[in-house]
Structure 1
């Protein structure tokens, strides 16, 4: 059997089923429903409140969940992107559009939960790349094509729900436990799937694989697809980056202005491979998703520095220009400011301090850019005044020297503003420089500190959400369909030079065969290490379990006074947690003398739920209605059946199920039974002075009569009509309560809207 045959491991919906899913009809329908239901600016807490959930969110979720369309989550996020774009354009209704965008995110979260019962289907919902025009009429497709300028290139750009969540920054959706479950399994390689490359530099779509749960027993030993597992990719990326840094340091340490040293050539090869890898990533997932990872900004900055260095170095060697070569190495040395911390942040890239630092850097750069634009007019004014100023014992002011002076004043050297003010103009110079010093060092600096403090506070309060958002970006970037990602630098350059021209002349099958052969040849040691680890050293494998057993035996063999030493306990672990785990691994019978659960509840366990929710009202039984009616019943004492000692004990009826409360109380004293009131159920369940066969026959006949009675009552149309009227009344009361709350501001009321004292699920 071909290990790459998708039919051999097919667990998810087939490609034909996914291709037949209609995506486009969902988008205008969702847009219309969200616009119709959300007509005022509401926050996240208001949109997730109980009344909004029952009156607005749940009906929409039930409506679209009934379609059983796997693309509905993706469609919600597409509509969210529309409302977010409208919030930036339509500033008058920006808050309203943001509320509608949040509603789309909430709908996506609620609808995703409906697919949780089938895990493979859940993965397919999140990872399948959907075309937003799938299922659209031909006229709509033509109109969209005309709106895009008549170009077919942008018509086929499918994306998955996870990619749409990243591009729309749906952090609540991505940080939800059900989403993180899928993301974690993708990151660790437990869930395997192949994305069809549509924008790849070198696409290999000959054998796309369906979604599957990875099993090492069925997978080939040297599985080249494991190189695309994000967990292994992160380790290999760290090693490649360390090798790049090593060649970078050696190239700068062995500079030769007249010729190119071997270390410099090695650095150029590694840097070119690194640039090709980053370009492939940006092309594969698009610039928006690529730049969403803040560290990619630093990588892109280093690539710009490298190409500037390479251009100047090439010019210096070709023209024997030592000045150009010197400038090239000086510019390359500036790249150390990026490479050294970038390697260190690989280990702590998701720490709260690092998240706050990079958020502050982006805010700082943005604020400095605004300040530079604001003070550009002052720079031009000072340069104009300096041209007409009388000569003094110093060099004349140039545009660059004035800008450098303003930078020094901005960062705290206020003395220069007063010392050099008169050199620009005897009257206007001191006024302008004093005003600039006051604005830069007092007003704007205070604003900058406040902005950075708020940024840190926001990141600190949402550290987990921000971490999970960045983790999702890293995971999606790791699952790449471009064939070049299976090659480690610098072999990706070799693969690009060989396979790219071959893709123009070879058939897809031949290209795939050649690609697999080159991957296994260039990555043979890596594939061998991964195979040995997954089969013997990974979690749950034999060698690791054997090592755990040996460590447990060694710990048990140590004397007690040695095991309790702090250092030894920190190394081998504490036995307290093992004791707790062992307690729950042992199955014991109930020996406390209490009634069994079957006796207490009749096999039906009580649950904490709202009896007034719509879902529970539909499945409400006569037993649940009796339980609801007994909630408000006052506590009355009751005698417990005798224990082994024969003495009765007093219980409270509220601690027992209502079914037992409706029975006639029976007090037993030394074997003598005293019966209470003779209700029908009491006559059914109380003991009768007759033989066992008569009691059993009487009980069976009574049970049958009661069941027939309940069936007759259930079939009565009056009873069903009463239940429907009650449900309509409850829904009307909830809607009226919601309308009162939403229109309170329009009626200038300050009091709170009346609350219903019922429990909602």
Structure 2
């Protein structure tokens, strides 16, 4: 840990300071500005365009950036959640509400960048659990309680990252600033703890401020490292592999009459797995928990296990072997979830895997609509074939026809009705096998294409979800299954009897006893084998020394170069680290003064540098002659706006390397303080420079200045007319598109 990081850690905001930050005043203020600004439906590309950015977004960002309130990002995301809810309730203005929600996300992204200079403050902005009523008056709090009811929890705090996940703010989460914080949390470089009120087993005795982790200052057996998401993902893979191993042994040695050893072991591991999943859903809420598509698989297996255990207990208690056999049959269906779940650990970043959840959701939605549509046909066939076919038989026949067994529709058609039966079954076979399956394939293909276009954003979104889930405040997450069952059985009753200090001591002791080998491995890795540690660096230096000592013929072997890497990058890096002498410059300083510079905006510094460049030039360039018809426009001329040049703005650019500026630009140019008196040898040059400046001042008549001001007013009017025309065109195109849709 260098001195810069140590100083940053000392400046970390304390929990007491974060508790005093006013949050509530920001929420209605941001809502008021958003509602006043956006009154039409705009897309993401339109809201991020340069004109909207400089005219709408930038003033709002600067307004709230001046407050230096660390909860402003959270307040923007809370407003996004409000507008998304309003878009679902008020369908007439759904487009406007979605545009306002999108603007809230853009404001959150831009306001977050104002805290990026201090990494500790940036982490606090995103990870602090803010209460939305912090800073509100007692009257407001009482009104909120009356609206929500007496049993509502008004102190339900959430962090900005959690609100971003729940509102699907994928652009915000995928931004580089947010991902920097998420990556540091995932690797354990940033250490923080949050107090929680929804934990199964809360241990809030020692809340820790946000710090940068240094293994040299931490104890060797640091039980807090078990909550690092990077290590938690590895331990989760091992626990899942153990669960799958016991699952296979349980079904391979099943005994419907009584419990055996492997079934007992599986029940213990599965119960520990179910407790871990329930704790995770209870920690962050069901919305954030289910946003991770892997949790859908995990919760599905928990449901299968619960069905199995209920049926198994019923079968053993009543001696019904058929119920016990059925319990094992239900449990065997869990293999459809466990085996793919373990494989997905290795290919979690694949595009198909990322789009799997959306594809399943759209498939189920489409199948539900199809079932509702064909329920009428099912009733018709049951009415026609009453006495011959049952509803179950007709439904199974339709399922077979739906999935491609079309010859049954022609074989069994006349059994319903000699005339209507073939017509109905042929129509159903044509619709199911030709039309609807083609539509389903098209929907799934478009889903994959859409996810593929935003694969990186979707991956970063899922990565943020898994990272936030990994930072668990619940004490049970420090225990590995099945020891979390033991900890829950011991510490949960003790939490009602002992003091928080005693509970914390018991918790730490039990964690170190049950996870001692894991803590030893983590401590040794972070001190000797992690990035930046002495053993790894010395091994790397030794390997480079051995490689550099090899003959050139061996070092240039393709296989060895592919394993070690090319030395060209090292050569290029060394070139830029060389300290150049004073005689290495190819050009004089006077040559750099006339070098064109690319400017993004005509700022005050730009005008200053341009004016200074004019003063430094010893000779004066005359202004080109202005045509008298320049301000006049032919009635047949195109109404397009004439582009502004660097001469019009008085700004040096890469397109105009030389030439004089307009009198108006020279008149309003910033004048720097006079330079120090030159030496005696340059007195004549100074006199000539003063004469040149006086000549420039003489070329500023009043009528030319009036022409310049009139021309600027006309340009402004044309710009306003062009923007009005473009806005009307976009509205008319959107209206026609909506009508066609």
TM category, shorter: 0.7 to 0.9
Are the structure 2 counterparts of residues 724 and 540 from structure 1 closer, same or farther at C-alpha, using a change threshold of 3 Å? farther
Q: Name the residue aligned to 1:127.
A: 127
Per the TM alignment, residue 380 of structure 1 is displaced from its structure 2 partner at its CA by: 2.8
Give the alignment partner of residue 609 of structure 2, picking from 607, 623, 634.
Answer: 623
Q: Which residue pairs with 1:299 in the alignment?
A: 298
Aligned to 2:726: 741
1:557–1:373: structure 2 CA closer, same or farther, 3 Å change rule?
Answer: same
Report the Cα offset of residue 694 of structure 1.
3.9
Secondary structure of the structure 2 residue equivalent to 1:387: coil
Matched, 1:409 2:429: no
The 3-state SS of whatever aligns with 1:70 is: coil
- CA 1:534 to 1:383, structure 2 compared with 1: closer, same or farther past 3 Å? same
**Residue from 386, 391, 396 that aligns with 1:399:** 391
Match of 1:493 in 2: 485
Cα distance in 1 for partners of 2:290, 2:53 equals: 35
After TM superposition, give the deviation of residue 303 of structure 1 in Å. 0.6
What residue is the counterpart of 2:198 in the other structure? 199
Return closer, same or farther for 1:96/1:559 CA change in 2, 3 Å cut-off: same
| Residue number in structure 2 paired with 1:463 | 455
1:472 and 2:472 aligned: no
Q: Distance in 1 between matches of 2:371 and 2:622?
A: 75
Change (3 A) 1:118 1:571: same
- Aligned pairs for 1:364-403 (under 5 A) are 364-388=363-387, 396-403=388-395
In the alignment, the residues of structure 2 paired with residue 481 and residue 189 of structure 1 have an alpha-carbon distance, to the nearest angstrom, of 15
Map 1:509-528 onto structure 2 (within 5 A). Answer: 509-528=501-520
Separation (CA, whole Å) in 2 of partners of 1:162 and 1:728: 47
Question: Shift of the alpha carbon at 1:634?
Answer: 9.2
8 Å Cα contact 1:487-1:523 kept in structure 2 = yes
Task: Give runs of aligned pairs for residues 303-322 of structure 1, distance below 5 A.
Answer: 303-322=302-321
Match of 2:423 among 422, 431, 448: 431
Which residue number corresponds to residue 177 of structure 1? Answer: 176
Structure 1 residues 725-734 or 102-111, which shifts more? 725-734
Check the 8 A contact 2:80/2:104 in 1, yes or no. Answer: yes
Cα distance in 1, alignment partners of residues 710 and 596 from structure 2: 27
Alignment-derived partner of residue 533 in structure 1: 525
Q: Which of 135-144 and 224-233 deviates more? A: 135-144
- Tell me the equivalent position of 1:576: 568
Contact 1:349–1:355 (Cα < 8 Å) also in 2: yes
| C-alpha distance 578-315 of structure 1, shift in aligned 2 (>3 A) | same
Give the match for residue 356 of structure 1.
355
Q: TM-score, normalised by structure 1?
A: 0.82
Trace 1:543-692 onto structure 2 (pairs within 5 A): 543-589=535-581, 591-592=583-584, 594-595=586-587, 600=591, 608-612=598-602, 616-617=603-604, 622-625=608-611
Deviations 1:146-193 (A, max 9, x none): 2222223x3121111111111111111111111111111111111111
Aligned to 2:264: 265
Q: Distance in 2 between matches of 1:369 and 1:71?
A: 43
Q: CA deviation at 1:578?
A: 2.4
C-alpha displacement of 1:343: 0.4
Shift of 1:94: 1.6
Larger mean CA deviation between 362-371 and 516-525 belongs to 362-371
Q: Match of 2:82?
A: 82
Partner-residue secondary structure (3-state), 1:231? helix
Tell me: CA distance 1:495–1:78, structure 2 relative to 1, closer, same or farther (3 Å). Answer: same
Using structure 2 for the length normalisation, give the TM-score: 0.84
> Is the 1:626–1:658 contact (alpha carbons within 8 Å) kept by the matching residues of 2?
no
Give the equivalent residue in structure 2 for 1:645: none
**Is 1:140 aligned to residue 140 of structure 2?**
yes
Q: Is the 8 A contact 1:627 1:657 kept in 2?
A: no
Q: Distance in 2 between matches of 1:22 and 1:685?
A: 51
Q: Is the contact made by 1:306 and 1:332 (CA closer than 8 Å) also made in structure 2?
A: yes
Larger displacement relative to structure 2 (198-207 or 536-545): 198-207
Q: What aligned pairs does 1:110-125 form with structure 2 within 5 A after superposition?
A: 110-125=110-125
- Structure 1 contact 257–325 (Cα < 8 Å) conserved: yes
1:606, distance to aligned residue in structure 2 (A): 7.7
Name the Cα RMSD after superposition.
3.7
Deviation at 1:571, TM superposition (A): 2.4
* Aligned position for 1:345: 344
Tell me if the contact between 1:172 and 1:465 (Cα under 8 Å) persists in the aligned partners: yes
Residue in structure 1 matched with residue 106 of structure 2 by the alignment: 106
Cα displacement (A) at 1:143: 2.0
Which of 91-100 and 55-64 deviates more?
91-100
1:367-390 deviations in whole A, cap 9, x for unaligned? 1122122222322332333324xx
Do the aligned residues in 2 keep the contact of 1:611 with 1:628 (CA within 8 Å)?
no
| 1:57 aligned onto 2:42 | no
> What whole-Å deviation, never above 9, does each CA across 1:388-413 have from its counterpart, x for those lacking one?
4xxxxxxx422222221111111111
In 2, are the aligned partners of 1:9 and 1:210 still within 8 Å (CA)?
A: no
**How far 1:620 sits from its partner (Å)?**
5.7
Contact 2:188 2:225 in 1 (8 A): yes
Secondary structure of the 1:207 match is coil
Contact preservation (8 Å) 2:597, 2:653: no
Q: Counterpart in 1 of 2:166?
A: 167
Give the C-alpha shift of residue 731 in structure 1. Answer: 8.7
Task: Tell whether the 8 Å contact from 1:55 to 1:734 is kept in structure 2 after alignment.
Answer: no
Give yes or no for the alignment of 1:248 onto 2:234. no
Q: State which drifts further: 552-561 or 412-421.
A: 552-561
| 1:80-104 Cα shifts (integer Å, max 9, x gaps) | 1111112222222222211111111
The aligned residue for residue 647 of structure 2 is: none
With over 3 angstroms needed to count, the CA separation of the structure-2 counterparts of 1:658 and 1:463, relative to structure 1, is closer
For the residue of structure 2 that corresponds to 1:421, the secondary structure is coil
Instruction: Tell me the residue number matched to 2:332.
Output: 333
The Cα of 1:354 is off from its aligned counterpart by 1.5
SS at match of 1:133: coil
Alignment partners' CA distance in 2, 1:749 and 1:80: 23
* 2:12–2:209 Cα contact (<8 Å) kept: yes
| CA spacing shift, 1:628–1:244, aligned 2, 3 Å | farther
Query: Contact 2:621–2:659 (CA<8 Å) still a contact in 1?
Result: no
Report the alpha carbon displacement of residue 286 of structure 1 after superposing the two structures with TM.
0.5
- Of residues 46-55 and 134-143 in structure 1, the stretch that sits farther from structure 2 once superposed is 134-143
Instruction: Answer whether contact 1:27 1:79 (CA < 8 A) is retained.
Output: yes
Tell whether the 8 Å contact from 1:51 to 1:734 is kept in structure 2 after alignment.
no
Alignment partner of 1:442 is 2:428: no
Q: Is the 8 A contact 1:14 1:210 kept in 2?
A: yes
Measured in 1, the distance between the counterparts of 2:453 and 2:539 equals: 41
Distance 1:346 1:727, change over 3 A: farther
For residues 523 and 40 of structure 1, the distance between their equivalents in structure 2, rounded to whole angstroms, comes to: 57
Compared CA separation, residues 605 and 138, structure 1 to 2 (3 A): farther
Q: Which residue of 2 aligns with 1:648?
A: none
Question: When the two structures are aligned, how many residues end up with a matched partner?
Answer: 675
In the alignment, which residue of structure 1 is the partner of 2:474?
482
Q: CA deviation at 1:425?
A: 2.8
Tell me the CA shift for residue 295 of structure 1: 0.9
Q: 1:657 to 1:127 in 2, by over 3 A?
A: same
1:270-302: per-residue Cα shift (whole Å, max 9, x none)?
111111111001000110100001111011111
* Superposition deviation, residue 140 in structure 1: 2.0
**What is residue 71 of structure 1 aligned with on the other side?**
71
Cα contact 2:599–2:606 (8 A) shared by 1? no
Secondary structure in structure 1 of the residue aligned to 2:115: coil
Say which SS state the counterpart of residue 414 (structure 2) adopts.
helix
Alignment match, 1:505: 497
Task: Verify the 8 A CA contact 2:8 2:120 in the aligned structure 1.
Answer: no
Task: Label 1:329 to 1:630 Cα distance change in 2 as closer, same or farther (>3 A).
Answer: farther
After superposition, the Cα gap between the structure-2 partners of 1:464 and 1:656, relative to the gap in structure 1 and judged at 3 Å, is: closer
Answer yes or no: is the 8 Å Cα contact 1:11–1:210 preserved in 2: no
Structure 1 distance, partners of 2:307, 2:709, is 75
Question: Is the Cα–Cα contact under 8 Å of residues 132 and 158 in structure 1 kept in the other structure?
Answer: yes
8 A contact 1:251–1:263 mirrored in 2: yes
Counterpart Cα distance in 1 of 2:146 and 2:332:
49
Q: Shift of the alpha carbon at 1:257?
A: 1.5
